[in-house]
A and B are shown apart, each in its own frame.
Chain A
Amino acid sequence: MLQIKPIISTLRHNKSGPLLLLLQIILSVAIVANASFIINERVQLMSRESGLVEDEVFDFTVYNFEEGVDYTAQNSRDMDIIRGLAGVKASTTSSMTPLSGGGWSSTFTYGQSEETAKDAPQAAIYYGDEQMVETLGVEMIAGRNFYQSEIESGHPNTANLAIVSQAFATVTWGDEPAVGQTIYAGGYGEQALKVIGVVKTLQGAWVNSSHLDNAIILNVELGLTSFNRFLVRAEPGLMTELKPQIIAALHKENKNRVIDGFTMITEHRKRVYRDHELMATVLSMMVILLLLITSLGLAGMVMFNIERRTKQIGTRRALGAKKRDIVSFFLVENYIICLTGGVIGALVAVQLGRQLMSVYSLPQLELIYPIATVVGLVVLTTVAVILPARKAAKISPAIATRSV
């Protein structure tokens, strides 16, 4: 039986220990709830789909330092060499690499007339050729890919066709089909870009941007500068072998250049999310430590109480308490402390969440986190209390007749 009233009487007459434990639980709940919320937010950020086959794609850069080189022609020759290597599934020149933390982005204009024109949201811009879609491994869900004959070379302002991400299409045109729409690079009417296809997911380079899922592929093989970036999709497992082959093949074509920066997309992802991962790891350690300290506090308090109440437990057993009554006594006593601390801690957690929201621009704490923390605390209390309580239940009732 629960015996809540006499347990509360007992707690009222022995305030110091329970009050300290209560304070510990309040702080634990407040911190654990907010930390769990932040951890989950970071984990969700890190687990967002980029839309790419990340474990098959890598990038590298070529720095040409020979004067008088036609970069556009050099790019075309390099592209042919790379695509001719065994193990290369697809490759393209690119203005940027997804999840790399750096690249090109812009806003666009769209609308039926100059008067009604609107700005489309910020989007990452990938300049590439007809193999860009296959190289990235993104899924085409509407329209078509570029034809080889549609690829322009040289300057970005030669682009006239676009493949957009679904996120960009939805935020720009809503439920209207994106294929067939026109966007303008710059003001209304300047450099029209006709949307010919939509890919399901394609992220940009900046993982902390709210426009990460807005991306556009434009039909230009860049050849403006001595610096050029290539994206390559390799057969699984062949990426390591391909690196020396690519360097050797491109040097054979023209040795006056530096070929460097071979990086897998998975490596880019790891680097670009490093801060989030660190934050989640540190907070997770803190949560584990706090829960460990709280459970040790609970177990310590129970063991102290058992030691202090040995004769009392024996007397209760002599008066008719069954073993389960003794276990229940300690469980209920600690559930009362835990739930009282949990409820107060949850309120503090919400208030703390509001402060964090206003000071650090974090999202508002969802109520499920303090609630889940309290539920977790009840489980923790059970685990921490049950073993000492079962030990207490084994105290012989004959203790009651002992004079010391």
Chain B
Amino acid sequence: MLSMKSISKVFKTDLVETHALRDFNLEVKEGEFVAVTGPSGSGKTTFLNIAGLLEGFTHGDYFLDGVNISNLSDNKSAAIRNEKIGFIFQGFNLIPDLNLAENVEVPLRYRGFNAAERKRRVQHALEQVGLAARMKHLPSQLSGGQQQRVAIARALAGEPRFLLADEPTGNLDSMMARQVMELLEEINKAGTTIIMVTHDPELARRAQRNIQIVDGQVCDFTMYQGGAEKPHLVSDTESPSDGQQAQTEQVAG
């Protein structure tokens, strides 16, 4: 589904070179729910941007759904973002001047769907998040949790292969956060691959797999949802135990 091999991202200024990602390797299979954690400045957002084709990378190979997206044109990248990826942002990123239906409709218009198809998909997506009755409301008339559900509906409306969620509960209280997380779990159960960046270890623990990024590199450990085993951090100097071998991926170097 998603394969990153030796990805590096370097930000250069006249004075300094910053390595946001270094020799970053990651494989995500179809249907997985992966949580990405890490301290501030570790490279989580850079990873998310590269995974979502929001920005390019300096070196390495990135395959998404079998397609090498290393040297795609801007238009092709936009088309892939629109068709294959659904984005959920920490700040919801709804357009304040558009009502809920129009917000959900935004990516569908860029896909070129006709009005009837757009209407059907908007209705279905808003029903999925329980807000179909309020489709004429403006975002400012909703609570934070409801706004994030609208953002999820917008991400789902295009029926993407995977969702990229950037701190989807970061701006929500614990009750709202739980509701949103339950919604994401339902979506994942329905077959959509989800990669979620979060600071919240509680939420991360609910994902099938937890990836920690430290200093632009992956520290990958497997954590089963509801499992009793303590997550085991794997480094490049340490081999995984036999019992974890099947579920543990190669650590970035």
Contact = CB atoms under 8 A, between A and B. Distances in A.
B101 to A, nearest CB: 10
A56 B79 CA distance: 72
Interface in B35-78: 45, 48-49, 52-55, 74-75, 78
Q: Indicate the size class of the contact surface on chain A.
A: 20 to 34
Given A1-B109, A401-B48, A403-B90, A320 B81 contact: yes
Contact of A322 (B48, B89, B102, B110): B110
Nearest to B84: A320
Q: Indicate the size class of the contact surface on chain B.
A: 35 or more
A6 B107 contact: no
Interface in A366-404: 396-398, 400-403
Given A311-B93, A322-B75, A403-B90, A396 B110 contact: no
Given A6-B102, A9-B98, A312-B95, A320 B45 contact: no
Contacts of B81: 318-320, 397
B55 A398 contact: yes
A316 interface: yes
Contact of B93 (A9, A14, A400): A400
A315 B111 CA distance: 15
Given A6-B106, A397-B54, A315 B99 contact: no
A311 B95 CA distance: 10
Given A320-B83, A322-B74, A14 B107 contact: no
B97 A10 contact: yes
Contact of B112 (A1, A402, A403): A1
Interface string B150-179: 000010001000000010000000000000
Interface of A: 1, 3, 5-6, 9-10, 12-14, 311-312, 315-323, 325, 396-398, 400-403
Given A5-B102, A322-B75, 8 more contacts: A12-B97, A315-B93, A319-B81, A319-B106, A320-B83, A323-B74, A400-B87, A403-B90
12 contacts: A9-B97, A9-B98, A14-B97, A311-B93, A322-B79, A322-B110, A397-B53, A397-B78, A398-B49, A400-B87, A401-B54, A401-B90
Interface of B: 45, 48-49, 52-55, 74-75, 78-79, 81-83, 87, 89-91, 93, 95-99, 102, 105-107, 109-112, 138, 154, 158, 166
The 10 A-B pairs with the shortest beta carbon distances in the complex, nearest first, are A320-B82, A13-B97, A320-B110, A319-B107, A10-B97, A398-B54, A315-B93, A398-B55, A397-B54, A398-B49
